[in-house]
Structure 1
Amino acid sequence: MDEVAGAIADPVRRKILVMLRDGRMSAGEIAEHFAISRPAVSRHLRVLRQSGLVRDELVGRQRFSVLDTERFTELATWLAQFLQPSGWEHRLDALTTEIYRTRRERRTHGGPDQREETTA
């Protein structure tokens, strides 16, 4: 997890990851999006490969960088403990609680779902 966190600490590497989310790219294609040298982009790609976030894919004589999202799982799981549930999650939890409360009341107090038997 530390290796992944270190790899995504740099804004250039984060931008590369976002670019690769849409599909594989060559180092040259990636370098076109930055005002840094191609060797600098290659160093960033090497860090991403070493962390396991990116892998190389050879197609003929061309080498492409491909995003490998599996390594994000551990970091995402760890980070999730700091996230507050969204407003929708709170509302759905409240709805679920209300449904269970209503069902319980109907069972205990003979609410509208329990019809009285009539004798003829």
Structure 2
Amino acid sequence: MKNQIEQDVFAAIADPTRRELLRLLSKEEELPLYRITDHFEIGRTAVSKHLTVLKAANLVYDRKEGRETRYRANTRPLKVVRDWLSYYEVFWNENILQLKKILEEE
């Protein structure tokens, strides 16, 4: 189950529109769909589909308020991305240090 959630998170953030949705929602406490849609050049249905993908990956929470659905970000699942990237940060830092050493020797 955990592996599926991780796959969902990576798949969800693979799309630039969904990354922008997460960025927008992480800056606000909560936004209704119509306010979210105002920030994009795509229609309400397309925004809603992107939010559904983010919700499936547990990156977005929603709640009904009357006839309106309000959304907010849940950035905790992004920890799997940070952890995955941290390996490569170490890799690049070590390689840059080796390159610097080589250049200094020349």
Give the TM-score category using the shorter length. Answer: 0.7 to 0.9
State the Cα distance separating 1:57 from its structure 2 match: 2.6
Corresponding residue for residue 6 of structure 1 = 11
Match of 2:27 among 13, 22, 31: 22
Match of 1:80 among 76, 79, 86: 86
TM-score, with length taken from structure 1: 0.65
Corresponding residue for residue 73 of structure 2 = 67
Counterpart Cα distance in 1 of 2:68 and 2:79: 29
Identity of aligned residues (%): 34
Alignment: residue pair count: 87
* 1:31 is the counterpart of 2:37: yes
State the Cα distance separating 1:4 from its structure 2 match: 0.4
Counterpart Cα distance in 2 of 1:61 and 1:41: 17
TM-score, with length taken from structure 2: 0.73
RMSD: 2.0
Gaps of 5+ in 2: 1-5, 98-106
Runs of 4+ with >6 A deviation: none
Bigger RCO (CA 8 Å, 6+ sep): 2
Counterpart Cα distance in 2 of 1:72 and 1:35: 26
* The structure with more helix, counted as a fraction of residues: 2
Corresponding residue for residue 51 of structure 2 = 45
If you compute each CA radius of gyration, which structure gives the higher value, 1 or 2?
A: 1
